[in-house]
Structure 1
Amino acid sequence: MITFATIAFGAVFLVVAVILAGVTVSFLADAEHAPGTVVELEWRNDHNGASHKRRASDKPVAYPVVEFTSADGEARTFRSSTGSNPPSYEEGEQVEVLYRAGSPEDARIKGFASLWLLPLIFGGVGLVFATIGTAFVVAGRRRS
């Protein structure tokens, strides 16, 4: 029973990974390109309040705030949804921005992490669980 639950858990994560990858591919197909500048690094502690136990390795994460000019000539600013420590970008750094022409507020830095990190995480976790569950089923059947 547990092995099938493990396979199901892995399958759900794989489906989510495929959906997230599809959203990214759709975004890339429609995206406009614009040069942008990292104008600030927004440092945040991404913790879950009182339920989070503080660890020595917990450090603030830097989210780049990027300014660009969309095709309509309007200056836009957005905070990347992908942060890191150490920071992936520096203030003043030039980056390529991708955004939807119909909704320029939906913008991302053209970079591997901001485009593909979530699908890879979900896909990796799903693959690990599905593989472990499948291995236990195969091993159990060989013993029988």
Structure 2
Amino acid sequence: MALMPEMMETSKGVPGFALFTLLFFTVGAVFAVISYTIYRNNQNLIEHGIETTGVVIDLHRLKPREYPLAPSIRFVKKGGSEHVFHSSEARNPPAYQIGEQVTLYYDPADPDNVHLEGNYLFVYVFAGMAAMFWLFSIWNIGSAVREIFQWIAG
């Protein structure tokens, strides 16, 4: 069945730039939600966890032959037993020195759920990525959504 000439003139192609803008905005929103979730989890641990002092006993690599180093911290749990926490947040240069005392908060039900005082690296990373995605999409999101709705509605 051939399309009538009137239909060919009114039909438009896929609004590629509008879809790209919406995708960028959505990815930015996802990164913002991740950042906020990490922040809230850290705050929840500070408010409801147990505060203690630990000592950095080692700096370890997360991947072989890569320089960023993450701390391993020994601390005493509320019951008196020692626990070693191996952080997954590595930095170059390292944020901590072996022998350094650090304040941390841990969940008594899961002593590997630890927040090091003042350590918001992942919050900043995801918030920064959200800001970059939004920077490139926020100016056009209104017109992009309008264009997509018009494309869907025909």
Question: Which TM-score applies when normalising by structure 2?
Answer: 0.70
Match of 1:21 in 2: 39
Match of 2:82 in 1: 75
Q: 2:126 aligns with which of 104, 122, 125?
A: 122
Match of 1:135 in 2: 139
Hey, what's the Cα distance between the residues in 2 that align with 1:97 and 1:18?
20
Structure 1 unaligned runs (5+)?
A: 48-58
Structure 2 unaligned runs (5+)?
A: 1-18, 145-154
One-letter amino acid of the counterpart of residue 123, structure 2 = P
State percent identity of aligned pairs.
24
CA RMSD of aligned residues (A): 2.2
- Seen in structure 2, the aligned counterparts of structure 1 residues 131 and 43 have a Cα distance that, compared at 3 Å, is closer
- Seen in structure 2, the aligned counterparts of structure 1 residues 40 and 126 have a Cα distance that, compared at 3 Å, is same
Displacement of 1:103: 2.3
Q: Structure 1, residues 58-83: CA drift from partner, whole Å, max 9, x if none?
A: x4221111111111000111111211
Is the CA contact (8 Å cut-off) linking 2:42 and 2:115 kept in structure 1? no
Match of 2:21 in 1: 3
Q: 1:106 aligns with which of 89, 97, 113?
A: 113
Aligned length: 126
Hey, what's the Cα distance between the residues in 1 that align with 2:51 and 2:92?
27
Question: SS of the residue aligned with 1:98?
Answer: strand
Q: Rg: which structure is higher?
A: 2
Match of 1:90 in 2: 97
Hey, what's the Cα distance between the residues in 2 that align with 1:37 and 1:136?
50
Match of 1:31 in 2: 49
- Seen in structure 2, the aligned counterparts of structure 1 residues 119 and 44 have a Cα distance that, compared at 3 Å, is closer
Hey, what's the Cα distance between the residues in 2 that align with 1:105 and 1:30?
15
Question: SS of the residue aligned with 1:33?
Answer: strand
Is the CA contact (8 Å cut-off) linking 2:45 and 2:115 kept in structure 1? no
